[in-house]
Structure 1
Amino acid sequence: MQLSEELQWRGFYNQMTFSDISEINEPRKFYIGIDPSADSMQIGNLAAVMMCRLFIDYGYEAYLLVGGATGLIGDPDGKKSERAIRNTDDVVRNKQKIIAQYQSLFENRQFQIVDNQDWFEDINYIEFLHKIGKHVSMTQMLDREFVKARIGEGGSGISYAEFSYSLIQGYDFLHLFREHDVTLQLCGADQWGNSTTGVSLIRKLESAEAHVYSLPLVINKTTGQKFGKSEGGAVWLDETKTSVYQFYQFWLNVDDEGVIDYMKIYTALDKTTIEAIAENHQANPGARSAQKTLAREVTDIVHGAQRRESVERVTSVLFGDGDIGSLNQQDIELISKEIPTFSASVELVSVLVDSQIAQSRGEAKRLVNSGAVSVDGVKQMEDMILSGRHIVKKGKNNFILIME
């Protein structure tokens, strides 16, 4: 399978400036950018990372741009109001964390990290307007959807800084073309307008051809909303923001309608393997084998196999027939961050109240006496002293960890 075919099969296709997608089969140098507006990437960024990995695997040279300069302004596209001004120290700190994530996610693939702060910090403003600004059409900038929404009736308005964002991003492409012979920018669908500004500058100032290739936003087919949001907000790649357990559970609980599409986007499994998984899933969706494979593969990419195996053991104890005795210290530390945790030698009724599973001792006793509470998978019909290590469970999703 050629790159063009695999991109389309995996769903990595939205818009392009190529006249025919087969032109993308000839390797060249590309770049993709991310602004350090947060201290971690989200799974929306992960889709772009997986597409970039594919390009590298097909022989492309990669330049990963972390926008130290543009991060101070913030991309206004899709935003209904002005972004808050960022502190320079925060941007630097965020940048370092995102670079570390890039280095982990790209594994042993070759790439170069670049930072637009390096070429913008010494640029003379008047010279920039003279040499670059003169070649960017105000008409095109005013025609951007986000600009029309912000300056139209009921809009919040837009600052000159945010309005100029596409000009700055366009110059990034021109600079990388001049310095590194980069002729392709990869981007998300929401970055199309900013990215084509660079193509125009390269054509006007260098009389050369450059291209943009965009991937679509990943949409949750059930809700119609942008994929990657959980009840608690965005799903982050940094485990201090979204724990490994929560990350794994997010993928484990995706809907049947979208699971195979997500597998194409977010894993490196080949076509034959995914088609076999899809066939098995269609025959027995209740087994949720596709979701289990998806959760395993994506968690391995982001957090590593060892962390994923720990989550699987914990998940087996909480939701399956796993034995709490099989959990090691790392597993216990992981689970203790996810569910209420109490020291041993405590009454069962007391922990039900203290964990707010029951609102009173009377309610807790009724739950126990009715067989609604289990300890290590065994229903308990009366109060007891919990000594040692145990998992208390009420219903499908209420858990308590008792620690030794």
Structure 2
Amino acid sequence: MKNIIDELSWRGLIKNKVPGVEKQLKKRTTMYVGFDPTSDSLHLGSLLPIIILIHFQKLGHKSIVLIGGATGLIGDPSEKKNQRVFFSLEDLQKNTESIKKQLSKLLNLEKTELLNNFSWIKKISLLDFLRNVGKHFPINYMMSKDSVKKRIYNNKKNGMSFTEFSYSLIQGYDFLYLNQEKDCLLQIGGSDQWGNITTGIELIKKKTGKKAYGITFPLVTKSDGIKFGKSEKGENIWLDRKRTTPYKFYQFWMNVSDKEIEKFIKIYTFFSREKIESLILKHRENPEKRFLQKRVAEEITQWVHGKKAYEEVVKISHVLFCKKYIKDLLLTLDEKILFSIYENIPHMKLSYQEFEEGVSLLDVLKKSSLFSSKSEANRALNLNSISINKKLVKKNILLQKENLIGKKYILFQFGKKNFFIIKVE
């Protein structure tokens, strides 16, 4: 069997691994990855364990995806400065169904067993859990975990609740359960999960005497250095088109730096090593053409949102960014493309009555997502940074019917990459 560790290593998909895992993976092995349903959507970071799982599936290994209906009620303290807000069981069930739908589009569910840990955790009494699981872990062992140490030392005022302190034990029990019921020998997760994974490995060893394994992958971070995550503050790139439009999803990849895109094409695509090296060389010849960014954006957008959505966002991008797109050409766009632009970029509605009474450009810009105040918008106007329907505007004007594209839209642009559109109806 092909050496999966070597394959994942050159792609940059391994951060930690338990010794001996290479030997185990020469045989068909059952592995699992888990997702707590603390949001109704997976995000960019969630794709990594799914991608790794697919790599394993291609080599004939068995896979389990575990949705944490029980652990989601507790909240993983890893990489968190404060305690998570508790979710209701009803909210977690709704989130679980949404995540299942996303997984069904990303994975071949005929090759993947989908489980929910709530189905077995709910059957365990507190006393049984403390006697059969808790007794195997000294406080010193738990305190040595990075997720615990960071939380306690970084938040000395509030520390960590016992609820969160128990999270690692519950995840460890999940691994034990899957080991006993499904012969699962390997758990995969982000590098922040290393402590939770090794807790499960230790529990399996103490309860059964068996050897179990773990692999972690590096966390993907945003431009501010914070990881992509469901409950982190700040903006995430979500897989749900209602939370991150396909256009914005596509543009994320188009705006990745040259240094990052060489890393991302290895991580986020299934191209062979030879093909990736060839694509990187081609990109380096003319990096200004953003060849790699386009290739990665195409692959991932089609995978997550489908070919039709990809073709649509390419058209939108052409309309918005093509330097040769003059006003006359913009006026020829059909309703479908205009509405697609409206759905995919920041937008606002105006009534015909409000519009006919007269709306100044500065008033619209103030209400848009482009500026926080009228004075800020006015400064941009004075600097010749505002365009209406791809035509530069140098002063405040009253928006009129002749500014409408397709009798109902007006497209605004600030600088090179910031767009806003209003719809009059």
TM-score by length of 1: 0.87
Query: Partners in 2 of 1:120 and 1:402 — Cα distance?
Result: 50
Q: Deviations over 1:56-82 (max 9, x none)?
A: 111111110001110000101111122
Q: Which residue of 2 aligns with 1:133?
A: 134
Q: CA deviation at 1:353?
A: 3.3
Q: Which residue of 2 aligns with 1:157?
A: 159
Q: Which residue of 1 aligns with 2:247?
A: 245
Q: Which residue of 2 aligns with 1:9?
A: 10
| Pairing of 1:174-323 with structure 2 (within 5 A) | 174-219=176-221, 224-226=225-227, 233-320=235-322, 321=324, 323=329
Ranges in structure 2 where 5+ consecutive residues have no aligned partner: none
Give the aligned CA root-mean-square deviation in angstroms: 3.3
> In 1, are the aligned partners of 2:147 and 2:195 still within 8 Å (CA)?
no
Ranges in structure 1 where 5+ consecutive residues have no aligned partner: none
C-alpha change, 1:373 and 1:223, in structure 2 (3 Å) is: closer
Q: Deviations over 1:88-112 (max 9, x none)?
A: 1111111111111111111466101
C-alpha change, 1:330 and 1:66, in structure 2 (3 Å) is: farther
C-alpha change, 1:378 and 1:167, in structure 2 (3 Å) is: closer
C-alpha change, 1:130 and 1:332, in structure 2 (3 Å) is: same
Query: Partners in 2 of 1:69 and 1:372 — Cα distance?
Result: 51
Query: Partners in 1 of 2:3 and 2:337 — Cα distance?
Result: 42
> In 2, are the aligned partners of 1:310 and 1:330 still within 8 Å (CA)?
no
Length, aligned pairs only: 398
Q: CA deviation at 1:136?
A: 2.2
Query: Partners in 2 of 1:194 and 1:157 — Cα distance?
Result: 19
Query: Partners in 2 of 1:403 and 1:297 — Cα distance?
Result: 35
> In 2, are the aligned partners of 1:73 and 1:161 still within 8 Å (CA)?
yes
Query: Partners in 2 of 1:401 and 1:6 — Cα distance?
Result: 48
> In 1, are the aligned partners of 2:410 and 2:423 still within 8 Å (CA)?
yes
> In 2, are the aligned partners of 1:313 and 1:327 still within 8 Å (CA)?
no
1:336 to 334, 338, 342: 342
Query: Partners in 2 of 1:232 and 1:332 — Cα distance?
Result: 29
Q: CA deviation at 1:48?
A: 1.5
Query: Partners in 2 of 1:351 and 1:293 — Cα distance?
Result: 41
Q: CA deviation at 1:331?
A: 3.3
Secondary structure of the residue that 2:32 maps to in structure 1?
A: strand
C-alpha change, 1:62 and 1:352, in structure 2 (3 Å) is: same
Q: CA deviation at 1:269?
A: 2.2
Query: Partners in 2 of 1:339 and 1:310 — Cα distance?
Result: 17
Letter of the structure 1 residue corresponding to residue 162 of structure 2: Y
> In 1, are the aligned partners of 2:404 and 2:410 still within 8 Å (CA)?
no
Query: Partners in 2 of 1:350 and 1:6 — Cα distance?
Result: 59
Secondary structure of the residue that 2:31 maps to in structure 1?
A: strand
Q: CA deviation at 1:145?
A: 2.2
Q: Between 270-279 and 34-43, report the one with greater CA deviation.
A: 270-279
> In 2, are the aligned partners of 1:344 and 1:402 still within 8 Å (CA)?
no
> In 2, are the aligned partners of 1:195 and 1:212 still within 8 Å (CA)?
yes
Q: CA deviation at 1:161?
A: 1.2
Secondary structure of the residue that 1:331 maps to in structure 2?
A: helix
Q: 1:355 aligned to 2:364? A: yes
Q: Deviations over 1:314-355 (max 9, x none)?
A: 1100101465477555533331132446689979x9563343
Query: Partners in 1 of 2:178 and 2:382 — Cα distance?
Result: 66
Q: CA deviation at 1:287?
A: 0.5
Letter of the structure 1 residue corresponding to residue 8 of structure 2: L
Query: Partners in 2 of 1:276 and 1:355 — Cα distance?
Result: 48
Query: Partners in 2 of 1:162 and 1:339 — Cα distance?
Result: 38
Query: Partners in 2 of 1:351 and 1:24 — Cα distance?
Result: 66
Q: 1:386 aligned to 2:395? A: no
C-alpha change, 1:276 and 1:122, in structure 2 (3 Å) is: same
Q: Which residue of 2 aligns with 1:35?
A: 36
